[in-house]
Amino acid sequence: MQHVLTIDEAEVEITVMTDGERIQAYIEGLDIAVLRKLVLEASWRDEALREKLLMAATVAESTGLSDLRKVVKQATRTNGFIEYREAGNYANRLEDLVEVLEQRIGDGAPELVVVIEEAISLAEEALQHIDDSGGEVMPAIHGLRKVHLTACNALRPDPVELAERLHDFQMTGKWDTFHEVLPDYVEALGDGGFQVYRQRVEDTWQALPQLGPEHYRSEWNTPRYRVEAAMEAIARHTDDFELLISVHANNLSSPSRFMELAKLFHARGRLDEALMWVEQGIAAFPDQRLDDLLSLAVELQMALGNP
């Protein structure tokens, strides 16, 4: 009699490994000497891998920061304009640089912070000669900024000098890599550094001319926007509501500025003052569509029990 094997009730789970999982499983079982040989052979064929290994080797062989600065210059250089198709390779170099710089934080040298700042400046300068329409390079620069913050918190550079540099980066940077200093750098700045930073920002803000509705749709002013954003961050960090109102009230050049002020008072439950700013905004721009302001006006009138 022929016996036929059937599977009716038993469940058989078949695991199909992906190519990546098969490679990982194979590598995990390799002897270290064989693995080293594979990496070396791969570096002969892969220029990006070879550059990464050379970068790591240079840093590993050095004890000071001079060789590290050479690595930074090498990793950030462009050698001419970089087309769209090559932008990803440049971004990969910056990401490799981030790893190298992060590894050096453990050395405990506060001067590393300045080296990272040099890397950011060089990368930002290089970005002017790169077609980054794919958006690959800027995230890598933000990676450098992230390791900069980590280094500041770990190595504690001079807080006053750091405050001065952060202010200058924030106000003059071409790509707004340091657009937000607060609250990220509060710990690294400490009380002394924060006061120096605040004074620098306030001095600039107090010198700004007041803008009113007559300046509606005037030319965009990037330096002013940066100062106002920094002052708003200071006001929020210190929980100074009156300062926050002063910052917004110093620029009433659009309906949205009145809306922002109304929302600030609304959030505090100060509905009468919120309505005052809404009404002023509506009166200031009679020829514009003001749907948001009108909607908020109705909401506030109802909340206040006004007919």
Mean pLDDT score, 41-53:
61
- Each residue's pLDDT tens digit, 93-123: 999 999 999 999 998 999 999 999 999 999 9
Measure the CA–CA gap between 250 and 257, rounded to whole angstroms. Answer: 10
Do residues 81 and 130 make contact, with C-beta atoms less than 8 angstroms apart? yes
Position 231 pLDDT exceeds 70: yes
- DSSP bridge partners of 251: 211
Tokens 């910056």, residue located = 94
Position 6 pLDDT exceeds 60: no
pTM, full prediction: 0.80
Report pLDDT for 30: 72
Report pLDDT for 93: 92
- Our CA angle for 83, 86, 92, nearest 5°, is 140
Position 150 pLDDT exceeds 70: yes
